[in-house]
Amino acid sequence: MGIAFYLTYAVRSLRRSGQRTLLAILAVAFGVMSLVAMQILTSNIFTIIIRDPRVDLGGDLEVYQDSALTDVDIAQLDTLRESGRISDYTLSSVTYELVLKTGTETTFVGSAFGVEPDKYPMVGSLKLSAPENATLSEALSRPRTIAITIDLAERLNLHAGDIVLVTNTMGGTPQRMTIGGIISATPDHMGGRVFYTLETASLLANNARIVTGASLLVPDDPDGLTAELRNAGWGVTTPDDIRVDQKSVRDVFNFMLKGAGMLGLLVGGIGVANTMQVLLARRTTEIAILKTMGYRPRHLMLLFGLETLLIGLVGSVIGVIAAIGFSIPLTNAIENTGSVLLGWAVDVPLLLSGILTGTATALIFGVYAIMRASGVRPSLLLRQMPAFSTWKRRLQAVGVYALLALPFGVLSTLIMGSVIQGAGVVLVALAGLIVLGLVLGGALFISVRLPAPRIWLLTLARNNLKRQGGRLLFALIALFVGVFAIGFSAGTILSAREEFDVRQGSLEGENLVVFSDAAQEADLRGEIEGQKGVKSWFTVYQAELTSIQAQTGDTWRTLDVPRVEGRTDIASEPGLSVSGEPWGTRADAIYLPHTYEYQDLPTGTLIQVTGTSGTQVNLVLAGLYDYESNMISHGHSALVSQDAAKTLGGSAVSLITVAELDTSRLTAFGDHLQEALPDAMVITAADIRAVIQQMLTNLFVFAITVAGLALVAGAILIANSVGLSMIERRREIGVFKAVGYSSNHVLRAFLLEHTLLGVLASGLGMLAVEIAARILDGAEGVDISLDPLPALAIMGIATGIAVASALAVAWRPTRVRPLVVLRDE
């Protein structure tokens, strides 16, 4: 057997088929790109999810108490270290309430960590990109410095040495901090983070007690130590606790992302199946010639199998290259929406497996076309017979594809890493294709038979759609899925944005908050009182506590209340209500948060409170409070009179001033106030809205990027079906032209046909969006809707893709000279 001859033959045939070969290659490339891009993304995400649980703990165990650690707690850890039960520990202070301000840009930091920089991290690594080769300890060596992750630095255009305003909104006063370092990699790959020393944490929180937990290195018997610590009243997180969480998250990501990739591969496979039919249908004469010369089906299968293999190989290589490119914006989109430092990376085995998978998929899906082509009877060289699509042939096709589901299922299992998930993806895809095929096929069947105006081109287009309805089904499904996915994503995210605007993002109500210290109080008051458009305002005084205890009988019970908030009047704060004695009944009143743990404390209980100034005050429990606010997060604070807060906080008291401004003046006044009081932190409702809208936009971009893949698949499948149609209708085109039709007439009929197809698919896609929205509306109370304008735009894009694909493929064949076609016949 002349392999070299077969190879030459295959390569030349593919080159000669030009556009159609390109379409087949694109179909494979699309599938491989979808799969490999999702695999790269999954792999990168897995480096975050599937990390050593010890990285999350910062050591072998993580320990904490109900409230901040005390000196006694830390002394216990020292004792454990001295006894050798632990080899070392490091303390941390975590807060989720940090706000950064650079100029007029406000950023709400996801997590901020006070750490011991010479020890942190004890497990995993942390790298700085600036200053170059610096350690965290070196970056934070000077007071009032912070290190921020690179995503924050890039978003806010910050560099080492820049100064930012930082506020811990839980009782802290604004502080000017210098960026001491930019962190390019954190131990757990999470971004949106700020690191500083424990001393800085204390400064930011206005409180000496800021240690929220400790990570321990345990040389042996961590289980024994865990039990011991729990018995001693510590909260302990072990690696096993982390693993349980990791597994469920990993399984979800694996199924969703790789499953989406497999669907892309399936679409690519369908594209190959279609295109191979186009490629080989064009060569029936050639196949017949080979058969007259004694070629048997196995020879032809080898020859066409080699062509399919080459298509698969070239398509897979292109797909892998495209996947590498496509995975970068996908990774960025995930980074932007999830505040993670994914650290984009690809590994060679994954790329090689993508090439193998794509080639195997091309072969699997090319088999039916190859079998059909190999079965061509050589007698057609002598006599043209119309090809009847018999039920036998259709059943044969169904049988072959059902058999081919097995090797594809094996492929899917290998990729998904589980038989159940692998088979699940194939079965879900097949079930989806069958259901969508029936629904969309039925819709196409009915729509081309509905009464329509007797316009000749329209009649021609409708007749052609009637004739090749089945073949267009895959393209119809892909367009439908694309429109549905984009429409639903757009509807969901745009509705969420509108909902947010109505509920949270509205600039009405309390819309300005200023964090400051006591020294700025007079200036702030002056600015606000002299400002037109201020409807109302009030100031809350926050004082951090070092101790708070309730007298229960003869004993004192320690409460988990880190600070008090002082007020003169609560009437100006909408949403704030107290139970027990009315507000203002007594000067020494204290109101605890309305949570389960304080409900057993009777009104009148003596509460002994010590502030960071060292002053101790005895207060009386007057009741509990409930609060809903869009501007202040109260956490576990207790409410007291303004005077009590001032006494407890002393000079370290922090002020939160909340105002309601005329919305038209909000941004201008916010900017003015920030300029007038540079050491205060001014946040407006517009800042908060901008942050959330940016988050929604990132989510939207990610969803549209993924959903857009379905439209690309639609374009490829339409191009395939048009290619096949062109071959079958070559004679028809010749006849039309022979009786006086111009190329443009013929082309217009084709384009009208695909316009109808695009309108049908996108119309049904939008209808499905509406139905899904109504179902969800009824079930979840979620209001999802898409305005007519974006809906029409999506439909227009989908129809445009259908028409453009048809135009690209049909352009040349419709320009063929009729004599050439008719003489060929």
Angle at the Cα of 271 from the Cα atoms of 268 and 273, rounded to 5 degrees: 115
561: contact with other proteins by CB under 8 A: no
Q: How far apart are CA 780 and CA 292, in angstroms?
A: 67
Among 9, 253, 344, 401, binds other proteins (CB under 8 A): 9
With CB under 8 A as the contact rule, which of the stretches 293-301, 604-612, 717-725, 773-781 interacts with other proteins?
293-301
Query: What's the closest the beta carbon of residue 385 comes to other proteins, in angstroms?
Result: 8
Q: How far apart are CA 462 and CA 446, in angstroms?
A: 11
Among 83, 231, 383, 614, binds other proteins (CB under 8 A): 383
Tell me whether residue 348 or residue 382 sits nearer to other proteins (CB atom): 382
With CB under 8 A as the contact rule, which of the stretches 2-10, 146-154, 173-181, 247-255 interacts with other proteins?
2-10
Which residues does residue 537 pair with via DSSP β-bridges, in sequence order?
A: 659
> Contacts from 498-505 at CB under 8 Å and sequence distance 24+?
499/783, 500/689, 500/692, 500/693, 500/696, 501/689, 504/630, 504/688, 504/689, 504/692, 505/685, 505/688, 505/689, 505/692, 505/693
CB 20 within 8 A of CB 307: no
Tell me whether residue 299 or residue 748 sits nearer to other proteins (CB atom): 299
| Residue 175 phi, psi (nearest 5) | -135, 140
Task: Please identify which residue in the block is written with the tokens 């190859």.
Answer: 370
Task: Please identify which residue in the block is written with the tokens 């010369």.
Answer: 293
CA distances from 441 to 436, 469, 473, 703, 720 (A): 8, 7, 6, 27, 18
556: contact with other proteins by CB under 8 A: no
Q: Per CB under 8 A, which of residues 385..414 are in contact with other proteins?
A: 385
Tell me whether residue 382 or residue 739 sits nearer to other proteins (CB atom): 382
Among 15, 454, 503, 532, binds other proteins (CB under 8 A): 15
Query: What's the closest the beta carbon of residue 50 comes to other proteins, in angstroms?
Result: 50
Token pair for 782? 């979620």
Among 124, 131, 378, 635, binds other proteins (CB under 8 A): 378
Among 46, 295, 344, 741, binds other proteins (CB under 8 A): 295
* Cα-Cα end-to-end distance for the chain: 34
SS3 111: strand
With CB under 8 A as the contact rule, which of the stretches 173-181, 295-303, 321-329, 523-531 interacts with other proteins?
295-303
294: contact with other proteins by CB under 8 A: yes
Q: How far apart are CA 519 and CA 2, in angstroms?
A: 92
Query: What's the closest the beta carbon of residue 294 comes to other proteins, in angstroms?
Result: 2
731: contact with other proteins by CB under 8 A: no
Among 48, 236, 290, 429, binds other proteins (CB under 8 A): 290
Applying CB under 8 A, the site for other proteins has a residue count of 30
Tell me whether residue 72 or residue 382 sits nearer to other proteins (CB atom): 382
With CB under 8 A as the contact rule, which of the stretches 382-390, 507-515, 652-660, 809-817 interacts with other proteins?
382-390
Q: How far apart are CA 89 and CA 58, in angstroms?
A: 9
Query: What's the closest the beta carbon of residue 291 comes to other proteins, in angstroms?
Result: 7
With CB under 8 A as the contact rule, which of the stretches 125-133, 262-270, 371-379, 630-638 interacts with other proteins?
371-379
Q: How far apart are CA 551 and CA 537, in angstroms?
A: 36
8: contact with other proteins by CB under 8 A: yes
With CB under 8 A as the contact rule, which of the stretches 268-276, 317-325, 378-386, 678-686 interacts with other proteins?
378-386
Task: Please identify which residue in the block is written with the tokens 């081309």.
Answer: 448
Tell me whether residue 289 or residue 328 sits nearer to other proteins (CB atom): 289
Q: Per CB under 8 A, which of residues 333..352 are in contact with other proteins?
A: none
With CB under 8 A as the contact rule, which of the stretches 168-176, 194-202, 287-295, 673-681 interacts with other proteins?
287-295
With CB under 8 A as the contact rule, which of the stretches 291-299, 555-563, 604-612, 779-787 interacts with other proteins?
291-299
**DSSP-assigned states of every residue in 344-368:** ----HHHHHHHHHHHHHHHHHHHHH
Query: What's the closest the beta carbon of residue 383 comes to other proteins, in angstroms?
Result: 6
Residue 487, sorted as left (phi over 0), alpha (psi -120 to 50) or beta, turns out to be alpha
Of 709, 257, 808, 750, which Cα lies nearest the Cα of 483? 709
Among 244, 289, 398, 519, binds other proteins (CB under 8 A): 289
Among 381, 400, 496, 620, binds other proteins (CB under 8 A): 381
22: contact with other proteins by CB under 8 A: no
Query: What's the closest the beta carbon of residue 245 comes to other proteins, in angstroms?
Result: 59
Q: How far apart are CA 36 and CA 57, in angstroms?
A: 32
Query: What's the closest the beta carbon of residue 7 comes to other proteins, in angstroms?
Result: 12
Tell me whether residue 4 or residue 779 sits nearer to other proteins (CB atom): 4
Query: What's the closest the beta carbon of residue 311 comes to other proteins, in angstroms?
Result: 15
| Number of Cα atoms under 13 Å in the Cβ half of residue 239 | 15
779: contact with other proteins by CB under 8 A: no
Residue 77's identity, in one-letter code, is L
374: contact with other proteins by CB under 8 A: no
Query: What's the closest the beta carbon of residue 390 comes to other proteins, in angstroms?
Result: 12
Q: How far apart are CA 296 and CA 277, in angstroms?
A: 19
Among 101, 291, 689, 737, binds other proteins (CB under 8 A): 291
Q: Where are the alpha helices (DSSP H) in 90-231?
A: 136-139, 150-156, 198-205, 222-231
Query: What's the closest the beta carbon of residue 384 comes to other proteins, in angstroms?
Result: 11
740: contact with other proteins by CB under 8 A: no
**DSSP-assigned states of every residue in 290-348:** HHHTT--HHHHHHHHHHHHHHHHHHHHHHHHHHHHHHHHHHHHHHHHHHTB-------H
> Contacts from 85-89 at CB under 8 Å and sequence distance 24+?
85/218, 85/225, 85/228, 86/216, 86/217, 86/218, 86/219, 86/225, 87/217, 87/218, 87/219, 88/59, 88/119, 88/122, 88/216, 88/217, 89/59, 89/214, 89/215, 89/216, 89/217
Tell me whether residue 309 or residue 807 sits nearer to other proteins (CB atom): 309
308: contact with other proteins by CB under 8 A: no
176: contact with other proteins by CB under 8 A: no
Query: Site residues (CB under 8 A) for other proteins?
Result: 1-2, 5-6, 8-9, 12-13, 15-16, 285-286, 288-297, 299, 377-379, 381-383, 385
